[in-house]
Amino acid sequence: MATWTAGYVANIGYTHGFYRELTPVLLSFLALTRSYAGPALDRPLQICELGCGQGFSMNLLAAANPHCQFHATDFNPSQIAGAKALAGEAGLSNVHFHDTAFADFAAEASLPEAFDVIALHGIYSWISPENRAAIVDFIAKKLKVGGLVYISYNALPGWASGMPLRRLFVERAGSASGPIGPRIEDALAFAGRLKDVNAGFFRVNPGTGERLDRIKGQNRNYLAHEYFNRDWTPFYFTDVAEELSAAKLSFVGSAALLESVDAINLTAEQQGLLAEIGDVAQRETVKDFIFNQQFRRDVFVKGPLPLSPRAAQSAWAEQRFALSTRREDVPLTVMGILGEANLQPEVYGPLLDGLANGPKTVRDLVSDPDIAALGWARLTQAFTVLVGSGHLQPCLPARDEAKRAKTTKAFNQAVVARAKDGADLQFLASPVTGGGVSLDRFQQLFLGALWEGKKTPTEWADAAWQALAAQGQRLVKGGKTLESEAENRAELTAQAEGFAEKRLPVLRNLGIA
């Protein structure tokens, strides 16, 4: 008998992640790096997420972008109920959650006529061909001309050796009944035994053994959704581009911005080989062979609008940026496919210094002669590298930041209140960037204590300890549980002092603290 789950794992919840690539200003910045017009951030936008999971990304983005309207759907009603509950706790009125199937979503009466952005993270590889066709049909009907689509999926050829391992997991788990959790553990253990008896598959594909070891250490909720669904399809880029062409979409670029920096990813010979290929889809597929790509994060547009050089430079000049890592902690290295690469101090040093005390536009920064002397090409690449490495964030315009601060404060207070009970939610919303900032449970408890008027790290640590002690919880350090109250307080105080020194100044610059 057919069920509403359609072969998708539904009896174990997805993780409460925040996916940075869904942030409107980041998507707009990606378009700018490719000299295309992106969504106009100074006007209300209509944004949709298909397969929103726990809905945490949409809730956070709704808080950080109160001028926009967000709609999201997920087939799992329990996850939608949880998303609505958080929206209610945060007082959000601009985010709307649905448990409507993809095939029926376009007919949902409460949706706007069309969207500026449609996003689907971690969905396309894990659903049936019929559901993929329904998504393409939804995009064709509901995406505005000039609108962007963000899509992520498991990619080939990087998954080629991992596909048999995933099949082994599914076959083993499917041979038993009962809750999915114990069946996952059994499948992982069985695969380990197969490796231990020196199976030829593991000998011929030595990287698969390393993959299995990594999988064993991952969150079980994540594994359930990544590996144990009925439908699971890695794609070549060409195949995804062809399917999306039915909705009149054209490729803009990878949301993994560092992948666009040839100097850290491709040898001169590889760059020369790719330069011979005129077809965009074929070039991307060949690049995936060079990278051995396993996961793609792509942005497409319905009707690309190239910017003239003058318009592009003007857009760059008005773009605002803020550091999300303390200036002193930003490394002058970056990791690419070719390994670790050094960043030029004479380029990155002045930029980082200029951003150390708060957000600035590019126009503000180039008023410094040392930065202006770097030249436009080096400047734009440096911004791309810093944003791609996660230490720098593109920001919303300064106008209406006070209004955004009110909605983000309410959302962040709701998240911090939940930190007293657990560590599921690991991000807060910034009114400056319009996106999320990572904070672990203890950092959230320290921040909550600060908001309550407690002024010193010792007081913050005391508040965190009270939350833990009330639930009989203890810290773990170096794999060892700290049993005594004194040990726990000492560790919390050390973490609070580090928070005060390294994270709090950044949070203040980002409008969170």
Task: In whole angstroms, give the CA distance from residue 245 to residue 129.
Answer: 16
98 touches 28 (CB < 8 A):
no
Pairing of β 115-120 and β 143-154 = parallel
Task: In whole angstroms, give the CA distance from residue 18 to residue 54.
Answer: 10
The answer on 439 and 375 residing in a single domain is no
In 3D space, the residue among 236, 261, 241 whose CA is nearest the CA of residue 252 turns out to be 241
Buried b (16+ CB within 10 A) or exposed e, 413-436: bbbbebbbeeebbbbbbbbbbbbb
Mean pLDDT, the chain, integer: 93
The answer on 139 and 254 residing in a single domain is yes
Measure Cα distances from 170 to 131, 176, 266, 342 in Å: 21, 10, 36, 43
Measure Cα distances from 284 to 3, 232, 293 in Å: 38, 22, 10
Predicted pLDDT of residue 414: 98
The answer on 238 and 220 residing in a single domain is no
Domain-ending residue, one of 395, 415, 434: 395
430 touches 23 (CB < 8 A):
no
Q: Identity (one letter) of the amino acid at 239?
A: D
- Residue 344, judged by CB atoms within 10 A of its CB (0-12, 13-18, 19+), counts as exposed
Predicted pLDDT of residue 53: 92
Phi, psi dihedral angles at 210 (to 5 degrees): -65, -40
pLDDT tens string 136-170: 999 999 999 999 999 999 999 999 988 888 898 88
Q: Which ranges of 197-261 does DSSP label H, i.e. alpha helix?
A: 200-204, 206-216, 220-227, 237-244
Note whether residue 10 is domain-resident.
no
50 touches 88 (CB < 8 A):
no
- Nearest-5° angle of CA 116, CA 122, CA 126? 120
The answer on 271 and 150 residing in a single domain is yes
The answer on 489 and 354 residing in a single domain is no
Q: How far apart are the first and last CA of the chain?
A: 53
Low-confidence ranges of the chain (pLDDT < 50): 1-13
Indicate the number of domains in the chain.
4
Pairing of β 115-120 and β 320-323 = unpaired
The answer on 269 and 123 residing in a single domain is yes
The answer on 236 and 128 residing in a single domain is yes
- Residue 504, judged by CB atoms within 10 A of its CB (0-12, 13-18, 19+), counts as buried
Task: In whole angstroms, give the CA distance from residue 110 to residue 435.
Answer: 25
Predicted pLDDT of residue 241: 97
Residue 42 belongs to domain with CATH number: 3.40.50.150
Provide the domain limits for residue 103.
20-157+232-301
Pairing of β 320-323 and β 95-98 = unpaired
The answer on 141 and 195 residing in a single domain is no
Measure Cα distances from 402 to 411, 432, 446 in Å: 15, 10, 24
Question: Alpha-carbon dihedral of residues 244, 249, 254, 257, nearest 10 degrees?
Answer: -150
Q: How is the chain split among helix, strand and coil, in percent rounded to 5?
A: 50, 15, 35
- Token pair belonging to 367: 């008023």
Note whether residue 7 is domain-resident.
no
275: how many CB neighbours lie within 10 A of its CB? 10
Strands annotated E in 307-404: 320-323, 333-336, 339-342, 360-361, 392-395
In 3D space, the residue among 139, 107, 123 whose CA is nearest the CA of residue 243 turns out to be 139
Angle, helices 309-318 vs 376-388, to 10°: value is 50
How many residues make up the chain in this entry? 513
Measure Cα distances from 303 to 129, 143, 306, 392 in Å: 25, 11, 10, 29
Phi, psi dihedral angles at 105 (to 5 degrees): -70, -35
Note whether residue 60 is domain-resident.
yes
Q: Is the backbone of residue 5 left (phi > 0), alpha (psi -120 to 50) or beta? A: alpha
106 touches 75 (CB < 8 A):
no
Residue 327 DSSP label: G
pLDDT tens string 16-45: 889 999 999 999 999 999 999 998 888 899
- Contacting residues for 162 by C-beta, under 8 A, at least 6 apart: 208, 211, 294
The answer on 193 and 145 residing in a single domain is no
pLDDT tens string 93-114: 999 999 999 999 999 999 999 9
The answer on 442 and 390 residing in a single domain is no
Predicted pLDDT of residue 410: 98
Note whether residue 307 is domain-resident.
no
Note whether residue 85 is domain-resident.
yes
The answer on 505 and 362 residing in a single domain is no
| Side-chain half-sphere exposure of 277, counting CA atoms within 13 A | 14
The answer on 88 and 50 residing in a single domain is yes
Q: Which ranges of 373-432 does DSSP label H, i.e. alpha helix?
A: 376-388, 401-419
Tell me the pTM: 0.91
In 3D space, the residue among 150, 123, 121 whose CA is nearest the CA of residue 56 turns out to be 121
Note whether residue 296 is domain-resident.
yes
Predicted pLDDT of residue 284: 97
